[in-house]
Amino acid sequence: MRVGVPTEIKNNEYRVGLTPPLVAELTAAGHDVLVQAGAGLGIDFTDSDYVAAGARIVGDAGAVFAEAEMIVKVKEPQTSEIAMLRPHHLLFTYLHLAADKPQAEGLMASGATCIAYETVTASDGTLPLLKPMSEVAGRMSVQCGAHYLEKHQGGRGVLLGGVPGVAPAKVVILGGGVAGVNAAQMAVGLRADVTIFDISNRRLAELDLAFGSQLKTAFASRSAIAAAVREAHLVIGAVLVPGAAAPKLVTREMIASMKRGAVVVDIAIDQGGCFETSHATTHQDPVFTVDGVIHYCVANMPGAVARTSTLALNNATAPFVLKLANLGAEAAMAADAHLANGLNVAGGKIRHAAVAEALDLPLG
């Protein structure tokens, strides 16, 4: 199969779909890999590194899309990329369609087969291709929140861990999944006062067992969230419903009740966000303020630590990329129901139930 890797063009996105080691695996298996010139330079993978791994370097994205059968990316295709997709293409990347109807409609119009990293499942029901980026985003959320709590950033001027004689900051984490747990690990490590919310009593028990007295757990009722948010210095939204839009757990009224200079970090912004006041931002312009509360809602948070993120993502995607290249999309999905769960768009139709419901489009 001819596998293509274009340079990512989203704002401040330096990650790359394939690393040279994964290219080497593909070429060793007999596949032809085309990499756009400079695609890996943002994280110090040179064109020479890709050539040494067996790839061909092509001049621009147009050449990649024109020649490749499978396109491997990191972020959702931008408008100019969607325009280059054709019915014979297999696109393998993050899509997050539930919060992006224009992209969904563009992919439908292209006729391409589009498999989303974020809805591929594992045998235990987890999301193996979302997990590494959730780990990165969860850990980043605390360091970003701590940064914007600094007074010169417009924050309240609070140190997360406090000091002897001065209480630590109160951190509220909404969601006890991968991102939430990684956020909790970082916040606990910085000696903050941490409470994590979830709707699963079983998950709360697991978190209690794992963290012990290092943090508090709470059932995510509306009233409990409202009370905790009101007193919090930092609130991290880490809620995920696979393929669907994130639920709005924090209302505008709750935001208005918060301390001036408090910070919210919306990890769920790729799926529409879990704060009513959220809208997607970029690394170039990452924050905005509503009712005196700083909102960090960068839609590709892991792009800030692009090398770590790319290496972690390729560790997870490698077996799926190889399976798709070796068997082709149809046979690979027939052989692997978990990979088939990643199918979001094909033949001009939405093929994932949660995406169809979120976008109010028919399921094909």
- Active-site annotation, residues: 96, 270
Which among 95, 64, 158, 88 is positioned nearest to 328, based on CA atoms?
88
Residue 34: beta bridge partners? 4, 56
In angstroms, the CA 64 to CA 86 distance is: 12
Contacts of 256 (CB under 8 A, 6+ apart): 291
Q: Do residues 262 and 235 lie in contact, with contact meaning Cβ atoms separated by under 8 Å?
A: yes
The dihedral of CA 228, 230, 235, 239: what is its sign?
A: positive
- Give the CA diameter of the chain: 65
The dihedral of CA 187, 189, 194, 199: what is its sign?
A: positive
Buried/exposed code over 31-64 (b: 16+ C-beta within 10 A; e: otherwise): bbbbbbeebbebbebebebbeebbbeebeebebb
